[in-house]
Amino acid sequence: MAKKKQISERVLVKKSAARSEFSQPKKRRLFTVFLVMDAKEIRESLADVLRKQQIDVRDYMTPMEFYLDYRKPVPGVLITEINLRGMSGIELFAKLTAEKNDLLVAFLAGHADAPTAIKGLKAGAIDFLVKPVSEDSLTGLVARAYAMYYDVDWDFAGEDLDDIETSIDRITPREQEVLDLIVEGFSSRAIGEQLGVATKTVEAHRASINEKMRADDLPHLMRMVMAYKEEHQG
């Protein structure tokens, strides 16, 4: 397996890159998506979306079903819900990490689970999606995982670090306080308690931050901020 890309590289895209090998199934290398969701209809629907893109998918109802089946490491990404029967997605991630398993891991989170997903991201998960999941966001996550695994360029929309820095420079000091707490995994209500303001005020700040950052959603915002922080800490 190629060395995993650093966080900053997860969000970047070379503007002049030709079509990526991921977008061309005949040139795509071995890569499997392991999808763990307890809702059968939704799970099968998402699996069908990926199979139509000629992506190999194995789907499971519970983390234990996946764990018992995953005997031999293969190139791929595990996409698991956070709240599941028996073992949670976070517990499964921790178990794989403790076993030094190199399988990439991403989460599917409800809005209430987003703070937990952020903490998972900071613990080493590569990405997360907030439900309901669109076809584009699901395929985009898999494309990013493929690019990280094989250390290749990809051709979906992204931002370079100069664009991210320009966007962050537009954020007010108060919005920066809110953003810092978002990155720490706090909910809007918890942020309001921390800053002594109403939840509605926090939501207004979050909307302004998303607009200035041109963030499609919370996972997109997190990828940009973490890329920026890693670049500047380096």
The dihedral through the CA atoms of 136, 224, 89, 71 has a sign that is positive
Which residues fall within 8 angstroms of residue 99, CB to CB, at 6 or more apart? none
Identify the pLDDT of residue 234: 54
The answer to whether the CB of 38 falls within 8 A of the CB of 62 is: yes
Other beta carbons within 10 Å of 16 = 6
Identify the pLDDT of residue 160: 72
d(CA 43, CA 159) in angstroms, rounded, equals 30
Residue stretches of the chain with pLDDT short of 70? 1-19, 153-159, 233-234
pLDDT digits (tens, 9 = 90+) for 83-140: 998 899 999 999 999 988 889 999 999 888 888 999 898 889 999 999 999 999 999 9
Domains in the chain (CATH in brackets) are 19-150 (3.40.50.2300), 161-233 (1.10.10.10)
The answer to whether the CB of 131 falls within 8 A of the CB of 108 is: yes
Q: What are the residues facing 108 on neighbouring strands? A: 81, 129
Which residues fall within 8 angstroms of residue 141, CB to CB, at 6 or more apart? 77, 79, 106, 127, 129
Output DSSP code: residue 83.
S
d(CA 63, CA 198) in angstroms, rounded, equals 38
Strands 76-81 and 56-60: unpaired
Identify the pLDDT of residue 5: 40
Which residue type does 21 have? E
Read off φ and ψ for residue 149, nearest 5 degrees. -65, -45
Long-range own/partner contacts, residues 141-144 (CB < 8 A, 24 or more apart): 141/77, 141/79, 141/106, 142/22, 142/31, 142/33, 142/50, 142/55, 142/77, 142/79, 143/20, 143/22, 143/23, 144/10
